[in-house]
Amino acid sequence: MYKEYDIILVGAGLANGLIALYINQYHPTLRCLMLESNNTPFGNHIWSFHQNDLSQKQFILLKPLISFSWSSYKVYFPNFQRRIIGNYYSITSTNFTRYLTNIMGKNLLTTTKVIHITPTKVILENNDEIHAKVVIDGRGIRSMPYFQVGYQVFIGQEWQLSHPHHLSQPILMDATVDQQEGYHFIYILPFNNKRLLIEDTYYVNQPILNQIKIRKNIIKYAQDHNWKLNKLIREEEGSLPIILSGDINMFWKQQGNQPCSGLRAGILHFTTGYSLPIAMSLAECIIGKLPTNSFVISQCIEMFARQHWHNQRFFRFLNRILFLTDHPKQRWKIIQHFYRLDADLISRFYFGHLRLKDKICILYGKPPVSINKVLRALLRINHSTGNIL
């Protein structure tokens, strides 16, 4: 291991992995080191995206990592169900790890804890110092005192079944399940005819998981669909912030000049929680500046994140309607209303770039919640943060 690098990526997560992927593609001569404190990089995850979430250039770069693909998906609600045409893809962390390990080799270090980080230096647990022109911190969410948030919490279990499940496409939302503590739905990815992911997901006010209850929900859902669970292959759980409002200036003041990536930089789709497409765009932005120094990269990331914050203001508005209006058990009505809309609008929603007409369509018609409740929700946030949009 060298003591001097062009770039050090602290944390082997999705965002830093994509930066490494771009470096290998466009600047293969740069010395890039990735440090991960856990035994295995990139965790225990599946990252999914719609094809329209990426540019053609981005998709071509990511294509070798894709583990599964489908040509459509379904959604189910108490009063409505629908099949939506559009390519949908998933990447397993196992596949991601295999690919990144192959391109990075010995420059991907696990069980390596960083105890101190600066824009140009890291100090390891054994007190070794490693220097770089750029150090990017991608170690996940830190505290968010300047944001008001709800949460998307979930447990997903991948099962081998005894008999075929007869699903040919993912179910992105099955909200016909009991609405227990917030907006509640089941997410299904069928990997082959006897293997699938069953994920129990909630939009709730606090990041609290009742693991026993959720695991029972997954088993009951399988039983209700006559799926004979044979072998549990793996389990993952997560808690993603759903940002309602906040002070972006204080957030970046807290970061100082330290370059950061992914959730550490507050970069994800504020309503869906999807992170891969925006992480691809951030990596593309960073790679356009390399080789350079840490200050330039820090400014690049902050400008990107601030523009993302601006672009997502309508989504924060929708989040406030979802979390601060009707009783939590009625939140499904808002989502059901949305999925009745035009398929191209839904695609642009996931992409995170809505037109003015799209926004009007989302809010137009008989509202799933009353106007008075919407106004009260907006005023409640405005009173506490001074920030409506």
Least confident of 218-232, 296-310, 364-378: 364-378
Q: Give the C-alpha separation, 50 to 267, whole Å.
A: 18
Return left, alpha or beta for 226; rule: phi > 0 is left, psi -120 to 50 is alpha, else beta. left
Residue with the two structure tokens 């929700």: 377
Percent of the chain, pLDDT > 70?
A: 93
For range 243-262, the mean pLDDT? 94
The residue among 10, 60, 13 whose CA lies nearest residue 32 is 10
Q: What pLDDT does 378 receive? A: 62
Give the predicted TM-score (pTM) of the model. Answer: 0.93
Confidence of residue 389 (pLDDT cuts 50, 70, 90): very low
Confidence of residue 235 (pLDDT cuts 50, 70, 90): very high
Residue 267 has pLDDT above 70, yes or no: yes
Provide CB contacts within 8 A for 156, sequence distance 6+: 46, 187, 197, 198, 199, 200, 235, 236, 237
Residue 84 has pLDDT above 90, yes or no: yes
Least confident of 112-121, 233-242, 368-377: 368-377
Residue 303 has pLDDT above 60, yes or no: yes
Confidence of residue 385 (pLDDT cuts 50, 70, 90): very low
Residue 251 has pLDDT above 50, yes or no: yes
The residue among 308, 237, 321, 327 whose CA lies nearest residue 270 is 308
Residue 86 has pLDDT above 60, yes or no: yes
For range 57-70, the mean pLDDT? 98
Mode of pairing for the β-strands spanning 229-246 and 114-118: unpaired
Asked if the domains 4-69+89-140+246-310 and 147-243 are classified in one and the same CATH topology, the answer is no
The residue among 87, 16, 28, 22 whose CA lies nearest residue 53 is 87
- Mutual angle of helices 371-385 and 313-324, in 10-degree steps: 110
| 146-184 pLDDT per residue, tens | 999 999 999 999 999 999 999 999 999 999 999 977 899
Q: HEC string of 280-342?
A: HHHHHHHHCCCCCCHHHHHHHHHHHHHHHHHHCHHHHHHHHHHHHCCCHHHCHHHHHHHHCCC
Q: Give the C-alpha separation, 170 to 389, whole Å.
A: 33
Residue 4 has pLDDT above 60, yes or no: yes
- Mutual angle of helices 294-311 and 276-287, in 10-degree steps: 140
Fold of 147-243: D-Amino Acid Oxidase; Chain A, domain 2 (3.30.9)
Beta pairing partners, 50: 88
Least confident of 63-77, 107-121, 164-178, 353-367: 353-367
Residue 363 has pLDDT above 70, yes or no: yes
Please state the domain extents for the chain: 4-69+89-140+246-310, 147-243, 313-380
Residue with the two structure tokens 């499940």: 165
CATH of 4-69+89-140+246-310, picked from 3.40.190.10, 3.50.50.60, 3.60.130.10, 3.40.640.10, is 3.50.50.60
Residue 386 has pLDDT above 70, yes or no: no
308 burial level (CB within 10 Å; 0-12, 13-18, 19+) = buried
Residue 222 has pLDDT above 60, yes or no: yes
φ, ψ at 309 (rounded to 5°): -60, -45
Provide CB contacts within 8 A for 340, sequence distance 6+: 80, 82
| 98-113 pLDDT per residue, tens | 999 999 999 999 999 9
Amino acid letter, 34 = M
Q: What pLDDT does 331 receive? A: 87
CA angle in degrees (0–180, nearest 5) for 10-274-350: 145
Amino acid letter, 43 = G
273 burial level (CB within 10 Å; 0-12, 13-18, 19+) = middle
Please give the structure tokens belonging to residue 354: 């809505």
Q: What pLDDT does 145 receive? A: 87
| 91-144 pLDDT per residue, tens | 999 999 999 999 999 999 999 999 999 999 999 999 999 999 999 999 998 878
